Copies of this chain bind each other. A is one copy, B any other.
Amino acid sequence: MTDLPTRDRLLEAAAGLFYAEGITAVGVDRICSAAGVSKRSLYALFGTKDALVAASLERFGERIVAGYLPATAMVDGDQPSPREQILGVFTWLESAAATPDYEGCPFVSAATELKDPAHPAAAVAKRFKDRLTAFFESAARSAGAPDPADLAQQLTVVFDGCGDRVVVTGHALNGLPTRMATTLLDAAGVRR
């Protein structure tokens, strides 16, 4: 990590520690120490801890959503079908949730802990979750679902609620996300 510019080192250290241990629980001293950066530099670059929290979630978030959102729009026949693309998100969730460091959806975790929609990081969290819902809605619309916006909310609920299951119980999901998404897609008539 020491090869990276100061700003990047701080963002990486902050994102990792906040996700693993919590936003309030991790002070700027810990982050500076992990990043090998002075507090003076941290405040010069970010101004406040809140701004660092938001910027680190933004950075971490881009990497996370790149894992589960298809990179390109559905433009030609070689692409997976909308149904396959939607189910792909839940396959990703299942494997992400099986990793030892999984602590639930980082956006849900941040919003849950902050309890303040006006916090800059809560706004970042909402934006990333809205991107997932927008992806579901777009795919559901392409597949001809009668109410794509509602189906998209339902699929987001499955995504987040399954993450909660792992956090609360510590158990593996054993296919639960895919079973639920499949049932909801079938009920909405999304067959392909």
Q: Which residues of A contact B (CB under 8 A)?
A: 20-22, 24-25, 103-105, 107-109, 111-115, 117, 125-126, 129-130, 150, 153-154, 156-162, 164-165, 167-170, 176, 179-180, 183-184, 186-187
**Do residues A107 and B168 form an inter-chain contact, with CB atoms below 8 A?**
yes
Q: List 21 A-B contacts (CB under 8 A).
A: A22-B24, A24-B24, A24-B25, A24-B113, A104-B112, A105-B164, A108-B164, A109-B112, A115-B167, A126-B168, A126-B169, A150-B176, A150-B179, A153-B165, A154-B179, A156-B165, A157-B161, A158-B158, A158-B161, A159-B161, A164-B164
Across-interface contacts of A153 in B (CB, < 8 A): 165, 176
**Cross-interface CB contact of A176 among B21, B117, B154, cutoff 8 Å:** B154
Q: Please name 14 further chain A to chain B contacts, defined as beta carbons within 8 Å, in addition to the given A22-B24, A180-B184, sorted by A numbering.
A: A108-B112, A109-B112, A109-B113, A111-B168, A117-B170, A126-B169, A129-B169, A154-B176, A154-B180, A154-B183, A158-B158, A159-B161, A161-B161, A183-B184
